Amino acid sequence: MPPSAPSTTAAYSADYSLRERLAQRYREVRAHSLALAAPLSPEDQCIQSMPDASPTKWHLAHSSWFFEAIVLQPFAVGYRPFDKRFAHLFNSYYESLGPRHPRPQRGLLTRPSLGEVHAFREHVDAAVLSLIADVDAAAWESAAPLLVLGLNHEQQHQELMLTDILHAFSCNPLLPAYRRAGPSSMPPTAELPAMRWLPMPGGVTPIGHTGEGFAFDNETPRHQVLLPPFRIADRLVTCGEYALFVADGGYQRPALWLSDGWAMVQAQGWQAPAYWISPGDPRAPSAEWQEFSLRGVRSLDTRAPVSHLSFYEAAAYAEWAGARLPTEFEWEAAYGTSAITQMIGEQWQWTRSSYDPYPGFRPLCGAASEYNGKFMVGQLVLRGGSSATPAGHSRGSYRNFFPPAARWQFSGLRLAKDA
């Protein structure tokens, strides 16, 4: 027997197990997308409330097209697209993959129907699972990382499905709830601990992905950053704290704001975070501030982390509080510190870092090169992950990014200070 046989068998076993695990993860991630869409009617899933948001149905189709374009067409021998016209409809921004339906008109795509999009998903799922099972080892080497990319991509769209439908529902005077169920984040009697400042030593700090497990290209390469000592808050700013800023005239005092932020406050008439409902609003009469959420209109939970802030608002609050936002490097340096809380899973946290490439950054190859790199200007980095982020999707090195005026994400803030 050739000496390589045993190791081949071992590799095969390992490979088999890997493939099986990936297939299982594929099924779970794909099923989760449908589960998120389940509370929504076909009408709900069709609409687009602003150019930056997309319909639920479009998310369901686009994440399937992504597998088709990135994995199936290059690697699945004999694969036939479900409908050749879908590449035009469901390509988001990949210039190398051809022209696209205009982004602001995604809400006009009543056809294909939701049923057809479900059939598209099933068609892609069957082909992907078949590819996982059958593709030869050489192709597997190339395809597997792209499959994993596709799953992480779909998870990003899972969060967007929630942020986008929340925006859409906020435009409906009936203020419908995405779903009524679900506990609030804290038991009503819980007392909020006072915020504490954690001292951090600074120094030469490794930043970026360690290389274990999946990461997006924008988290690499891992490199050293020299940080001065600083202090960082052990928890996020709450709605109750932010309400004090509002009550103190925060939205009327230009000295607290960056110039572009103040222009936005005036142009858009901002008075509070995006989905706060002011006392007396005819859509949901109340004497108190309320919040519109995925669970409908609720009393403001003063202990919960504030959300749906733009970068401008986060920075203005920090100024008002006599503090500042942490840089993304400070945030990452603080990640894993014992006393720190609410790092992942509560709210995305605006940092005081523009979204620039890391030293030595190289985008992925092929169409995936357009995934992150081409957006590295005009955006700010958010760190952490929100309650809408799929479990296990984020990590300490994860770099989310949005333009500074974006408010429809689950975005709050954590304070920092110089040492």
Applying CB under 8 A, the residues found at the interface with a copy of itself are 41-47, 49, 85, 88-89, 93, 95-96, 101, 105, 107-114, 168, 171-174, 176, 204, 223-228, 254-255, 257-262, 311-312, 315, 327, 352-357, 359-360, 369, 374-378, 380, 404, 418
CB nearer to a copy of itself: give 359 or 392: 359
CB nearer to a copy of itself: give 27 or 374: 374
CB nearer to a copy of itself: give 12 or 93: 93
CB of 288 to a copy of itself, least distance (A): 22
CB nearer to a copy of itself: give 140 or 311: 311
Give the pair of three-digit tokens for residue 2: 């050739």
Give the pair of three-digit tokens for residue 367: 């169409």
Own/partner pairs, 107-111, CB within 8 angstroms, 24+ separation:
107/46, 107/47, 107/48, 107/49, 107/55, 109/46, 109/55, 109/57, 109/58, 110/46
> Which of 122, 119, 99, 109 minimizes the C-alpha distance to 57?
109
Residues 170-192: b if buried by 16+ CB within 10 A, e if exposed: beeeebebbeeeeeeeeeeeeee
Give the pair of three-digit tokens for residue 41: 């009617």
Sign of CA dihedral 151, 344, 276, 178: positive
CB of 311 to a copy of itself, least distance (A): 7
CB of 348 to a copy of itself, least distance (A): 17
What is the identity of the amino acid at 162?
L
> Where would I find the H helices in 172-286?
239-247, 259-268
Task: End-to-end CA distance of the chain: give it in Å, rounded.
Answer: 67
DSSP code of residue 374? G
Please give the backbone phi and psi of residue 199, each rounded to the nearest 5 degrees, phi first: -80, 135
> Which of 330, 319, 321 minimizes the C-alpha distance to 229?
330
By the 10 Å C-beta count (0-12 exposed, 13-18 middle, 19+ buried), 286 is classed as middle
CB of 173 to a copy of itself, least distance (A): 6
Please give the backbone phi and psi of residue 394, each rounded to the nearest 5 degrees, phi first: -95, 175
CB nearer to a copy of itself: give 5 or 204: 204
CB of 349 to a copy of itself, least distance (A): 16
Give the pair of three-digit tokens for residue 326: 């942490």
Cα 134–140–144 angle (5° rounding)? Answer: 110
CB of 205 to a copy of itself, least distance (A): 9
CB nearer to a copy of itself: give 301 or 370: 370
CB nearer to a copy of itself: give 239 or 381: 381
CB nearer to a copy of itself: give 31 or 108: 108
Cα 376–210–145 angle (5° rounding)? Answer: 75
CB of 104 to a copy of itself, least distance (A): 10
Distance between alpha carbon 4 and the CA centroid of its chain, in Å? 45
CB nearer to a copy of itself: give 228 or 345: 228
